[in-house]
Structure 1
Amino acid sequence: MKNLFKIAAFTFFLTLIISCDKDDAVNDNVTFTATLSGANEVPANTSTAVGTATLVYNKTTKMFTIAVVHSGLTPTGGHIHKGAAGTNGGVVFGFTNLASPISYTSGALTAEQEADLNAGLYYVNLHTAAIPSGEIRGNLVKQ
Protein backbone atom coordinates (compact mmCIF):
# COMPACT_ATOMS: atom_id res chain seq x y z
CA MET A 1 0.00 0.00 0.00
CA LYS A 2 2.94 2.31 0.75
CA ASN A 3 4.24 1.80 -2.82
CA LEU A 4 0.81 2.54 -4.28
CA PHE A 5 0.71 5.82 -2.33
CA LYS A 6 4.18 6.74 -3.62
CA ILE A 7 3.10 5.97 -7.18
CA ALA A 8 -0.06 8.04 -6.83
CA ALA A 9 1.83 10.97 -5.28
CA PHE A 10 4.53 10.88 -7.97
CA THR A 11 1.92 10.76 -10.74
CA PHE A 12 -0.03 13.65 -9.20
CA PHE A 13 3.03 15.88 -8.90
CA LEU A 14 4.31 14.92 -12.36
CA THR A 15 0.92 15.79 -13.87
CA LEU A 16 0.87 19.06 -11.95
CA ILE A 17 4.33 20.04 -13.16
CA ILE A 18 3.72 19.01 -16.77
CA SER A 19 0.33 20.74 -16.86
CA CYS A 20 1.73 24.09 -15.79
CA ASP A 21 2.01 26.36 -18.78
CA LYS A 22 3.35 29.92 -18.86
CA ASP A 23 0.50 30.94 -21.12
CA ASP A 24 -2.68 29.20 -19.95
CA ALA A 25 -4.66 30.93 -22.73
CA VAL A 26 -2.88 28.72 -25.27
CA ASN A 27 -2.27 25.26 -23.85
CA ASP A 28 -1.39 22.74 -26.54
CA ASN A 29 -0.85 19.89 -24.06
CA VAL A 30 -3.30 17.04 -23.64
CA THR A 31 -2.82 14.64 -20.71
CA PHE A 32 -3.58 10.91 -20.77
CA THR A 33 -3.27 8.56 -17.78
CA ALA A 34 -3.33 4.81 -17.20
CA THR A 35 -3.47 2.55 -14.18
CA LEU A 36 -1.48 -0.63 -14.79
CA SER A 37 -2.48 -3.94 -13.24
CA GLY A 38 -2.62 -7.64 -13.97
CA ALA A 39 -6.42 -7.45 -14.03
CA ASN A 40 -6.17 -5.19 -17.12
CA GLU A 41 -4.15 -7.77 -19.07
CA VAL A 42 -5.77 -9.89 -21.77
CA PRO A 43 -6.12 -12.51 -20.43
CA ALA A 44 -6.14 -11.14 -16.88
CA ASN A 45 -3.61 -12.44 -14.35
CA THR A 46 -3.27 -12.30 -10.56
CA SER A 47 -0.06 -10.22 -10.42
CA THR A 48 0.18 -7.94 -7.39
CA ALA A 49 2.45 -5.53 -9.31
CA VAL A 50 1.07 -2.03 -9.91
CA GLY A 51 1.88 0.99 -12.00
CA THR A 52 0.68 4.31 -13.31
CA ALA A 53 1.45 6.17 -16.51
CA THR A 54 1.09 9.85 -17.35
CA LEU A 55 1.44 10.85 -21.00
CA VAL A 56 1.45 14.49 -22.10
CA TYR A 57 0.85 15.05 -25.82
CA ASN A 58 1.69 18.37 -27.45
CA LYS A 59 -0.72 19.14 -30.30
CA THR A 60 1.71 21.57 -31.94
CA THR A 61 4.88 19.46 -31.97
CA LYS A 62 2.89 16.19 -32.34
CA MET A 63 5.21 14.66 -29.73
CA PHE A 64 4.53 13.19 -26.29
CA THR A 65 6.41 12.48 -23.11
CA ILE A 66 5.39 9.66 -20.83
CA ALA A 67 6.39 8.71 -17.30
CA VAL A 68 5.61 5.20 -16.06
CA VAL A 69 6.02 4.36 -12.38
CA HIS A 70 5.86 0.71 -11.35
CA SER A 71 6.49 -1.52 -8.35
CA GLY A 72 6.35 -5.21 -7.56
CA LEU A 73 7.98 -6.42 -10.79
CA THR A 74 11.19 -6.34 -12.79
CA PRO A 75 10.28 -5.59 -16.39
CA THR A 76 12.06 -7.34 -19.25
CA GLY A 77 10.16 -5.23 -21.79
CA GLY A 78 7.92 -2.21 -21.84
CA HIS A 79 5.88 -0.70 -24.63
CA ILE A 80 2.92 1.30 -25.80
CA HIS A 81 0.71 -1.00 -27.85
CA LYS A 82 -2.24 -0.27 -30.10
CA GLY A 83 -5.42 -1.93 -28.90
CA ALA A 84 -8.71 -0.97 -27.32
CA ALA A 85 -9.41 -2.04 -23.74
CA GLY A 86 -9.96 -5.80 -23.70
CA THR A 87 -7.97 -6.46 -26.89
CA ASN A 88 -4.31 -7.07 -27.59
CA GLY A 89 -2.34 -5.26 -30.27
CA GLY A 90 1.09 -4.67 -31.68
CA VAL A 91 3.87 -2.53 -30.27
CA VAL A 92 3.87 1.09 -31.46
CA PHE A 93 6.49 2.65 -29.14
CA GLY A 94 9.16 0.75 -27.17
CA PHE A 95 10.78 1.90 -23.94
CA THR A 96 14.56 1.56 -23.74
CA ASN A 97 14.87 2.21 -20.01
CA LEU A 98 12.71 -0.04 -17.83
CA ALA A 99 13.73 1.17 -14.36
CA SER A 100 10.99 3.02 -12.49
CA PRO A 101 10.21 5.74 -13.31
CA ILE A 102 10.35 4.96 -17.02
CA SER A 103 10.67 8.11 -19.12
CA TYR A 104 10.16 8.24 -22.88
CA THR A 105 9.78 11.00 -25.47
CA SER A 106 8.33 10.18 -28.87
CA GLY A 107 9.17 11.54 -32.26
CA ALA A 108 6.45 13.41 -34.13
CA LEU A 109 3.33 11.26 -34.41
CA THR A 110 1.73 10.55 -37.76
CA ALA A 111 -1.88 11.61 -38.32
CA GLU A 112 -2.93 7.97 -37.79
CA GLN A 113 -1.00 7.67 -34.51
CA GLU A 114 -2.48 10.94 -33.26
CA ALA A 115 -5.99 9.73 -34.12
CA ASP A 116 -5.35 6.38 -32.36
CA LEU A 117 -4.07 8.13 -29.22
CA ASN A 118 -7.08 10.45 -29.10
CA ALA A 119 -9.45 7.53 -29.71
CA GLY A 120 -8.12 5.68 -26.63
CA LEU A 121 -6.48 2.90 -28.66
CA TYR A 122 -3.09 2.90 -26.90
CA TYR A 123 -2.11 0.97 -23.79
CA VAL A 124 1.04 0.70 -21.69
CA ASN A 125 2.26 -2.86 -21.13
CA LEU A 126 5.11 -4.10 -18.94
CA HIS A 127 6.41 -7.61 -19.61
CA THR A 128 8.39 -9.84 -17.21
CA ALA A 129 10.22 -13.15 -17.31
CA ALA A 130 7.37 -14.65 -15.26
CA ILE A 131 4.68 -13.37 -17.66
CA PRO A 132 6.36 -12.59 -20.99
CA SER A 133 3.09 -11.71 -22.75
CA GLY A 134 2.59 -8.85 -20.28
CA GLU A 135 2.31 -8.71 -16.50
CA ILE A 136 0.61 -5.33 -16.03
CA ARG A 137 -1.26 -3.14 -18.46
CA GLY A 138 -3.31 0.03 -18.56
CA ASN A 139 -5.13 1.83 -21.39
CA LEU A 140 -4.26 5.51 -21.81
CA VAL A 141 -7.34 7.66 -21.15
CA LYS A 142 -7.63 11.37 -22.00
CA GLN A 143 -8.07 13.57 -18.93
Structure 2
Amino acid sequence: MSCQSDLGFQDDKQASTLRITGEQATGAKERPTPVTTNATATISGTYDPNTNILNYTITWTGLSGAPTAAHFHGPADRNTAAGVLIAIPLPTGAGASGTVTSTATLTDQQESQALSQALYYNIHTAANPGGEIRGQLVVQ
Protein backbone atom coordinates (compact mmCIF):
# COMPACT_ATOMS: atom_id res chain seq x y z
CA MET A 1 0.00 0.00 0.00
CA SER A 2 1.50 3.33 -0.97
CA CYS A 3 1.10 6.50 0.92
CA GLN A 4 -0.48 9.59 -0.68
CA SER A 5 2.79 11.50 -0.76
CA ASP A 6 4.24 8.71 -2.95
CA LEU A 7 1.47 9.43 -5.47
CA GLY A 8 2.14 13.17 -5.63
CA PHE A 9 -0.62 14.20 -3.23
CA GLN A 10 -0.60 15.83 0.19
CA ASP A 11 -3.72 16.13 2.32
CA ASP A 12 -5.80 14.99 -0.69
CA LYS A 13 -4.44 17.84 -2.84
CA GLN A 14 -2.11 17.74 -5.82
CA ALA A 15 1.50 18.39 -4.89
CA SER A 16 2.44 20.37 -7.99
CA THR A 17 1.61 23.90 -9.08
CA LEU A 18 -1.05 24.14 -11.77
CA ARG A 19 -0.95 26.48 -14.77
CA ILE A 20 -3.59 29.19 -15.35
CA THR A 21 -4.32 29.85 -19.00
CA GLY A 22 -7.88 31.11 -19.19
CA GLU A 23 -9.84 32.13 -22.21
CA GLN A 24 -9.28 35.40 -23.98
CA ALA A 25 -11.79 37.84 -22.52
CA THR A 26 -14.08 39.52 -25.04
CA GLY A 27 -17.32 41.45 -24.99
CA ALA A 28 -19.10 38.65 -26.85
CA LYS A 29 -18.57 36.41 -23.78
CA GLU A 30 -20.27 38.83 -21.35
CA ARG A 31 -23.50 37.49 -19.84
CA PRO A 32 -26.41 37.93 -19.63
CA THR A 33 -25.95 40.46 -22.45
CA PRO A 34 -22.93 40.33 -24.77
CA VAL A 35 -21.12 43.64 -25.33
CA THR A 36 -19.95 45.00 -28.67
CA THR A 37 -16.33 46.06 -28.17
CA ASN A 38 -12.91 45.53 -29.71
CA ALA A 39 -11.41 45.10 -26.24
CA THR A 40 -9.70 41.86 -25.23
CA ALA A 41 -7.77 40.51 -22.26
CA THR A 42 -5.67 37.49 -21.45
CA ILE A 43 -4.87 35.87 -18.12
CA SER A 44 -1.93 33.68 -17.18
CA GLY A 45 -0.42 32.47 -13.95
CA THR A 46 -0.20 29.58 -11.54
CA TYR A 47 -2.29 27.97 -8.85
CA ASP A 48 -0.81 26.07 -5.89
CA PRO A 49 -3.41 23.63 -4.51
CA ASN A 50 -1.39 23.16 -1.31
CA THR A 51 -1.54 26.83 -0.33
CA ASN A 52 -4.66 27.76 -2.33
CA ILE A 53 -2.67 30.69 -3.79
CA LEU A 54 -3.61 31.93 -7.24
CA ASN A 55 -0.89 34.06 -8.88
CA TYR A 56 -2.09 35.79 -12.03
CA THR A 57 -1.40 38.46 -14.60
CA ILE A 58 -4.19 39.98 -16.67
CA THR A 59 -3.33 42.11 -19.69
CA TRP A 60 -6.07 44.06 -21.46
CA THR A 61 -6.28 46.32 -24.47
CA GLY A 62 -8.87 48.42 -26.27
CA LEU A 63 -11.35 49.06 -23.47
CA SER A 64 -13.87 51.86 -24.05
CA GLY A 65 -12.22 53.74 -21.19
CA ALA A 66 -10.33 53.20 -17.98
CA PRO A 67 -11.40 50.09 -16.07
CA THR A 68 -13.62 50.89 -13.09
CA ALA A 69 -13.45 47.39 -11.56
CA ALA A 70 -12.30 43.84 -12.24
CA HIS A 71 -13.37 40.61 -10.55
CA PHE A 72 -13.40 36.85 -10.48
CA HIS A 73 -17.02 35.64 -10.56
CA GLY A 74 -18.62 32.26 -10.01
CA PRO A 75 -19.74 29.65 -9.96
CA ALA A 76 -20.83 29.89 -13.59
CA ASP A 77 -20.42 28.12 -16.89
CA ARG A 78 -19.62 30.09 -20.03
CA ASN A 79 -23.27 31.02 -20.62
CA THR A 80 -24.20 32.15 -17.11
CA ALA A 81 -23.53 35.27 -15.05
CA ALA A 82 -22.63 34.94 -11.37
CA GLY A 83 -21.80 37.09 -8.37
CA VAL A 84 -18.43 38.57 -7.49
CA LEU A 85 -16.16 36.23 -5.54
CA ILE A 86 -12.80 38.03 -5.56
CA ALA A 87 -11.94 41.62 -6.43
CA ILE A 88 -8.99 42.11 -8.77
CA PRO A 89 -6.99 45.16 -7.66
CA LEU A 90 -6.48 47.59 -10.52
CA PRO A 91 -3.28 49.62 -10.66
CA THR A 92 -3.55 53.34 -9.98
CA GLY A 93 -4.05 55.23 -13.20
CA ALA A 94 -5.06 52.13 -15.18
CA GLY A 95 -6.16 53.00 -18.69
CA ALA A 96 -7.91 51.48 -21.68
CA SER A 97 -4.89 49.18 -22.04
CA GLY A 98 -2.91 47.83 -19.14
CA THR A 99 -1.75 44.98 -16.94
CA VAL A 100 -2.37 43.85 -13.40
CA THR A 101 -0.36 41.22 -11.54
CA SER A 102 -1.68 40.00 -8.20
CA THR A 103 -2.46 37.03 -5.98
CA ALA A 104 -5.60 35.68 -4.38
CA THR A 105 -6.14 32.98 -1.79
CA LEU A 106 -9.01 30.73 -2.81
CA THR A 107 -11.31 28.99 -0.37
CA ASP A 108 -11.66 25.24 -0.81
CA GLN A 109 -15.03 25.86 -2.50
CA GLN A 110 -13.49 28.43 -4.88
CA GLU A 111 -10.67 26.00 -5.63
CA SER A 112 -13.20 23.34 -6.57
CA GLN A 113 -14.96 25.85 -8.82
CA ALA A 114 -11.69 26.94 -10.44
CA LEU A 115 -10.63 23.36 -11.12
CA SER A 116 -14.01 22.64 -12.75
CA GLN A 117 -13.77 25.82 -14.91
CA ALA A 118 -16.69 27.45 -13.09
CA LEU A 119 -14.96 30.81 -12.47
CA TYR A 120 -14.56 33.71 -14.86
CA TYR A 121 -12.79 37.05 -14.82
CA ASN A 122 -14.15 40.29 -16.20
CA ILE A 123 -13.31 43.95 -16.47
CA HIS A 124 -15.87 46.74 -16.03
CA THR A 125 -15.82 50.27 -17.48
CA ALA A 126 -18.02 53.34 -17.06
CA ALA A 127 -19.59 52.63 -20.47
CA ASN A 128 -20.19 48.99 -19.49
CA PRO A 129 -20.76 48.88 -15.73
CA GLY A 130 -21.94 45.26 -15.84
CA GLY A 131 -18.69 44.24 -17.51
CA GLU A 132 -17.11 45.05 -20.85
CA ILE A 133 -15.12 41.84 -21.35
CA ARG A 134 -15.18 38.37 -19.83
CA GLY A 135 -13.21 35.12 -20.07
CA GLN A 136 -13.49 31.77 -18.30
CA LEU A 137 -10.64 30.79 -15.96
CA VAL A 138 -8.91 27.60 -17.06
CA VAL A 139 -6.68 25.76 -14.56
CA GLN A 140 -4.56 22.87 -15.88
Query: Contact (CA 8 Å) 2:47, 2:139: kept in 1 or not?
Result: no
Matched residue count: 117
Aligned to 2:6: none
Aligned to 1:105: 103
What do the CA deviations read for 1:11-42 (whole angstroms, capped 9, x no partner)?
xxxxxxxxxxxxxxx96111122210001111
Aligned to 1:36: 25
Give runs of ≥4 in structure 1 deviating > 3 Å: none
1:111-130 equivalences under 5 Å are 111-130=108-127
- The 1:30–1:125 alpha-carbon spacing in structure 2 relative to 1, beyond 3 Å, is same
Question: When you count helix as a share of all residues, which structure comes out higher?
Answer: 1
Question: Does the residue aligned with 1:51 lie in a helix, a strand or coil?
Answer: strand
> Does the alignment pair 1:94 with 2:87?
yes
Aligned to 1:134: 131
Query: Contact (CA 8 Å) 1:78, 1:127: kept in 2 or not?
Result: yes
- What displacement does 1:85 show? 0.7
> Does the alignment pair 1:54 with 2:44?
yes
- The 1:27–1:112 alpha-carbon spacing in structure 2 relative to 1, beyond 3 Å, is closer
Which TM-score applies when normalising by structure 1? 0.76
Question: Does the residue aligned with 1:44 lie in a helix, a strand or coil?
Answer: coil
Identity in percent? 32
Aligned to 2:5: none
Query: Contact (CA 8 Å) 1:34, 1:54: kept in 2 or not?
Result: no
Which TM-score applies when normalising by structure 2? 0.77
Query: Contact (CA 8 Å) 2:15, 2:50: kept in 1 or not?
Result: no
> Does the alignment pair 1:75 with 2:77?
no
User: RMSD across aligned C-alpha pairs, in angstroms?
Assistant: 1.6
State the structure with more CA Rg: 2
State the distance in 2 between where 1:39 and 1:55 align. 24
